[in-house]
Amino acid sequence: MHVARPDALAYASWASLRLPTEAEWEHAARGGVPGRAYAWGDELEAGGRVLANTYRGDFPWRSLHPRGPGTSAVGSDPPNGYGLVDMIGNVWERTSTPWTETLAELPPAPVASCCARTVADTEEERAVTTGGSHLCSSSYCRRSRPAARQGQGVLSSTSHVGLRCVVDA
């Protein structure tokens, strides 16, 4: 968390890794379950089970999340079908894909006022972040889904944006 995109790219290069593209990230987040709103089905809480760290309660003043507000420790929620943890919720994740309003291979995503505009709006360059965060709530947006995306200023760093790297085979 709190890593601007240039620093994320520098880290990935140093570690002989790279940031995923938006399409790679979405494929991984789906965990082998295409066509569903979430990697586990079409409901955020399947059978009443909390499966991702998203905001529960009256945002922003009353968190009702069982673990409290903020980020969770890695692996606090069940892995997806590929064995990957925290692909949905917890923190938005940076990708290597430059931001555009829509992509040909993805349907247009509605812009949610809760998290689509940040202090980074003054920056010209933006890149795609995806997956939602602990601040996304079903009461005002549907951002904690594999297909969710937003443009994040490349120079901004916040407590709800992080990164994940890819190993090329």
List phi, psi (to 5°) of 121.
Answer: -60, -20
Q: Return the closest-CA partner of residue 24 out of 130, 107, 139.
A: 130
Contact (Cβ atoms closer than 8 angstroms) between residue 126 and residue 57: no
Report the predicted TM-score, pTM, of the whole model to 2 decimal places.
0.82
Q: Per-residue pLDDT tens for 83-116?
A: 999 999 999 999 999 999 876 444 444 444 444 4
DSSP secondary structure letter of residue 48: G
CATH number for 23: 3.90.1580.10
Task: Check whether 17 has a pLDDT greater than 80.
Answer: yes
Contact (Cβ atoms closer than 8 angstroms) between residue 68 and residue 116: no
Residue 29: enclosing H or E segment and its boundaries? helix 22-30
pLDDT at 99 (0 to 100): 94
Q: How many folded domains does the chain comprise?
A: 1
Domain containing 76: what range?
A: 1-169
Q: Which of 57-66, 120-129, 133-142 has the lowest mean pLDDT?
A: 120-129
